[in-house]
Amino acid sequence: MELHGAAAVITGGGSGLGAATAAHLAALGCKVAVLDINLASAEASAARFGGLGIACDVASGPSGEAAMAQARAAHGPARILVNCAGVGTAGRIVGRDGPLALEAFERVVRINLIGSFNMLRLAAAEMSSADPMEENERGVIINTASIAAYEGQIGQPAYAASKGGVVGMTLPAARELARAGVRVVTIAPGLFHTPMVDGLPAEVQASLGAGIPYPPRLGRPEEYAALVEHILRNRFLNGEVIRLDGALRMPPR
Ligand SMILES: NC(=O)c1ccc[n+]([C@@H]2O[C@H](COP(=O)([O-])OP(=O)(O)OC[C@H]3O[C@@H](n4cnc5c(N)ncnc54)[C@H](O)[C@@H]3O)[C@@H](O)[C@H]2O)c1
């Protein structure tokens, strides 16, 4: 896809992988809308490259619709959606206080899985009615799963289930949207150096990194953003989930 001038929507773009992707796509000439539940961080992220920061709760239908409409009014129909919004809340099935609260499980699935689908469906509708570009391509949707979709650790039943759902919807979405020339690809990151990890003590960060076969360090958000760029440019990539993890396979705990 020709990236210069293409309208891009990045959810969770106020922080971490989403913020790096937003800045990277803006540097390539995309018109970038940064959506985040935290408006201040969306605006701060967008201000780094003169983009648009928009408040959006991806888990809410009306909020997603309003944010997509605001982005469309400013930049035209979205050609790129990168779903980065997510939460990693952990909780054992049976903890000290008894069984995991159903609401806790539901919240993680609601944001990570239903939120990704919410934005995917809205972007897919917008892309499907946009003008075709080269080879009838109309848009690209990139989701973010996690290697926890395959090797969920103890305490990650909700997170792993939510990310497994994102993996599972990738192929049916790509198959359905193929007629419209819309590709769907999912990235399953390993451990990345984002604000989530920044909060941990330095020695914990170092030991997390040392457990990664090669390179023995945490992933850099720019490496995630570079894969996003490649997916956007490589039209033959579709319906696939790509691990980006330095060969890490997570142990049970
Ligand atoms: N960092 C890692 O090691 C890692 C590994 C595997 C997968 N991931 C996934 O990558 C994605 C980005 O992670 P990150 O490390 O950049 O996290 P992060 O916490 O730095 O950023 C996530 C952003 O999502 C936003 N957000 C949360 N709930 C939202 C909602 N309901 N609506 C809109 N925005 C919301 C947050 O405000 C935040 O700005 C997540 O889906 C995460 O599960 C991260």
> Looking at residue 208, what is its pLDDT?
83
Answer for the pair 13, 36: CB distance below 8 angstroms, yes or no.
Answer: yes
Q: Domains in the chain: how many in total?
A: 1
Q: Determine, yes or no, domain membership for 74.
A: yes
In short, whether 64's Cβ falls inside 6 Å of ligand 1 is: no
Q: Determine, yes or no, domain membership for 214.
A: no
Question: Which residue range is the domain that position 184 belongs to?
Answer: 7-192+221-242
> Looking at residue 111, what is its pLDDT?
98
Q: Determine, yes or no, domain membership for 249.
A: no
Q: Determine, yes or no, domain membership for 215.
A: no
> Looking at residue 200, what is its pLDDT?
73
> Looking at residue 198, what is its pLDDT?
78
Distinct helix (H) and strand (E) counts, the chain: 9, 9
In short, whether 151's Cβ falls inside 6 Å of ligand 1 is: no
Q: Determine, yes or no, domain membership for 128.
A: yes
User: Measured from the CA of 218, which atom of ligand 1 is nearest?
Assistant: 3
Q: Determine, yes or no, domain membership for 210.
A: no
> Looking at residue 199, what is its pLDDT?
73
> Looking at residue 1, what is its pLDDT?
92
Q: Determine, yes or no, domain membership for 56.
A: yes
Beta bridge partners of 241: 186
> Looking at residue 128, what is its pLDDT?
98
206 vs 59: CA distance, rounded Å: 34
**CATH number, residue 82:** 3.40.50.720
- For the chain (length 253 residues), average pLDDT per consecutive 10? 97 98 98 98 98 98 98 98 97 97 98 99 98 98 98 97 98 99 98 85 81 97 98 98 98 93
Ligand 1 mean position to 179 CA, how many Å? 31
Q: Determine, yes or no, domain membership for 172.
A: yes
Residue of minimum CA distance from atom 14 in ligand 1? 16
Residue of minimum CA distance from atom 7 in ligand 1? 146
List, in order, residues 6 or more apart from 85 with CB less than 8 Å away: 11, 12, 18, 35, 36, 37, 58, 111, 115, 116, 119
User: Measured from the CA of 63, which atom of ligand 1 is nearest?
Assistant: 32
In short, whether 85's Cβ falls inside 6 Å of ligand 1 is: yes
> Looking at residue 205, what is its pLDDT?
78
Angle, CA of 210, 213 and 219, to the nearest 5°: 70
